[in-house]
Chains A and B, each alone.
Chain A
Amino acid sequence: NAGVTQTPKFRILKIGQSMTLQCTQDMNHNYMYWYRQDPGMGLKLIYYSVGAGITDKGEVPNGYNVSRSTTEDFPLRLELAAPSQTSVYFCASRRLAGHLGETQYFGPGTRLLVL
């Protein structure tokens, strides 16, 4: 299993540009999450999904959109990038229940710089 994979690893955007951060997991997990980590801080939840076709907002959703058309993929869309969105973005997933339920497994992160 590759676990949770994210692309790209690093990206520079100009103010006002848009982009999609990709996230894929091969563990057949129902739940998927997007977090952002600002310098010197812990992670904050942007959006999450409990299954294909179902998404919901987290703590800091403004400026982002998500979709979940398959169990494996959970892309994060940035529209009209702003300097405040400079951050490291992590995707995570977890199984529905059972052994090790509630444990989130993280991808390697995408570092985004908006100039």
Chain B
Amino acid sequence: AQTVTQSQPEMSVQEAETVTLSCTYDTSENNYYLFWYKQPPSRQMILVIRQEAYKQQNATENRFSVNFQKAAKSFSLKISDSQLGDTAMYFCAFTLTGANNLFFGTGTRLTVIP
């Protein structure tokens, strides 16, 4: 069975600082995708960044980057130059290639402090 674990229920960061959110996952498969979704108070699920497991290079999207450690089954999200609009729940998610279930962690609530 596939599982996703986010061990930090809540985190806070000062505006303009950098924060890293942790995620680990468990699978015996080799081909999969990992995602970080942001859920602001509006409850909309917004894709932040995605990573293909077969790619060694870490994905980046502007201020967001990941540290993907396949052997350790770790997929952390780094947010640089944190902004007030980054305040949200962040969910790590995992899917096997060609599968239809997206497995979610329980989320990390991030608060950016002015």
Interface of A toward B, CB cutoff 8 Å: 31, 33, 35, 40-45, 48, 50, 56, 58-59, 88, 90, 92, 100, 102-106, 108-109, 111
Contacts and interface: CB of A to CB of B under 8 A. Distances in A.
Overall SS of chain A's interface: strand
A31 B93 CA distance: 18
B33 A88 contact: no
A76 to B, nearest CB: 16
A45 B97 contact: no
A43 B44 CA distance: 12
B62 interface: no
Interface centre among B45, B46, B105 (most CB of A within 10 A): B45
Contacts of A102: 33, 50, 95, 97
A109 B44 contact: yes
A41 B106 contact: yes
A88 B43 contact: yes
B105 A109 contact: no
B56 interface: no
A48 B100 CA distance: 7
Contact of B47 (A41, A88, A90, A103): A103
B108 to A, nearest CB: 11
Contacts of A90: 45
Given A103-B35, A108-B42, A31 B100 contact: yes
7 contacts: A40-B106, A41-B106, A42-B103, A42-B107, A102-B33, A106-B45, A109-B43
B113 interface: no
Nearest to B43: A109
